[in-house]
Amino acid sequence: MRVNVTVNGEQRQADDVWEGESLLFMLRERLGLPGSKNACEQGECGSCTVYLDNVPVCACLVAAGQAQDRSVRTVEGLASGDELDPVQEAFVEAGAVQCGFCTPGLVVAAHDLLDRVPSPSDPEIREALAGNLCRCTGYEKILDAVRLAASRR
């Protein structure tokens, strides 16, 4: 099937999409946007978090066809040219990035949190990021990064 979808502000078209494909597979393998990650593909790890019509979702749990005529924003769509989003900048500065495989999903989840709650408390940050697994950092520096980003927005 053919899927028409707006991705990061651009109108995109994917052809020969198999009906069983996820939005994640379409983004990664058909639209050249592998930033959203494939760590579990069952909605447990959050590494594929993208905005679908401004709501964060696990792209692995959304069928590609469900994105028809909708708007998707991925981690690749957060920076403005060379200028990183404050959340991205804070993740690098705070040492919240080690292997980085969880990072795209966490960056989107933190971006969404700070849009909703500009100055979140620690329990609010923890709750908002509870669906995103990280195996490298123990989360301390991720919390630092979100606090830092909040202080700058």
Partner 1 sequence: MTLTPAELTSAVSGGIGTSPQRPDGNLKVRGEFAYASDLWHEDMIWGATLRSPHPYARITSVDITEALKVPGVYAVLTHSDVPGRNLYGLEHKDQPVLAVDVVRYQGEPIALVGADHPETALRAMKKIVVTYDVLEPVVDMETAVDDTPLHPGGNLVRHVPIRRGAQDVTADVVVTGRYEVGMQDQAFLGPESGLAVPAVDGSVDLYIATQWLHVDRDQIAAALGLPQEQVRLTLSGVGGAFGGREDLSMQVHACLLALHTGKPVKMVYNREESFYGHVHRHPAVLYYEHGADHTGKLVYVRTRMYLDGGAYASSTPAVVANAATLGVGPYEVDNVTVDAYGVYTNNPPCGAMRGFGAVQAGFAYESQMDKLAEALGMSPVDVRVRNAMTEGSVMPTGQVVDSAAPVAQLLKLVQDKPLPAGTSSDIRELPGGVSNTTHGEGVVRGVGYAVGIKNICFSEGYDDYSTARVRVSMVNGSLAASVHTAACEVGQGLVTIMQQIVRTELGIQRVTVLPMDTTIGNGGSTSASRQTYVTGGAVKAACAVVRSRLDGRTDIGSEVIDETVEWRHRATEPLDPETGQGNAHVQYGFAAHRAVVDVDVELGLVRVVSLDCAQDVGRALNPQAVVGQIQGGSAQGLGLAVMEEIQTSGGKVRNPSFTDYLIPTVLDMPPMSIDVLELADPHAPYGIRGVGEPPTISSTPAIVAAIRAATGLALTRVPVRPEHLTGT
Q: 5 - beta bridge partners?
A: 12
Structure tokens at 17: 């999409």
Q: Is residue 20 a contact residue for partner 1 (CB under 8 A)?
A: yes
CB of 69 or CB of 81, closer to partner 1: 81
Between residues 78 and 114, which has the closer beta carbon with respect to partner 1? 78
12 lines the binding site for partner 1 (CB under 8 A): no
The answer to whether 132 contacts partner 1 (rule: CB under 8 A) is yes
The identity of residue 10, as a single letter, is E
Residue 147 interacts with partner 1 (CB under 8 A): yes or no: no
The binding track of 67-96 with respect to partner 1, each residue x by CB under 8 A or -, is -------xxx-xx----x---xx-xxx-x-
Distance CA 51, CA 12 (A): 16
**Residue 110 · residue 146 · CB < 8 Å:** yes
Q: What are phi and psi of 87, to 5 degrees?
A: -65, -45
Q: Among 2, 135, 152, 153, which residue sits at the site for partner 1 (rule: CB under 8 A)?
A: 135
Q: Please give the Cα distance from 8 to 3 (Å, whole number).
A: 15
What is the longest distance spanned by two Cα atoms in the chain?
Answer: 46
Site size with partner 1, rule: CB under 8 A: 58
Find the shortest distance in angstroms from Cβ 121 to partner 1.
10
Nearest to 73 by CA among 102, 53, 92, 100: 53
Question: Which residues contact partner 1 (rule: CB under 8 A)?
Answer: 18, 20, 28-29, 32-42, 44-45, 47, 74-76, 78-79, 84, 88-89, 91-93, 95, 97-104, 107, 123, 125-127, 129-143
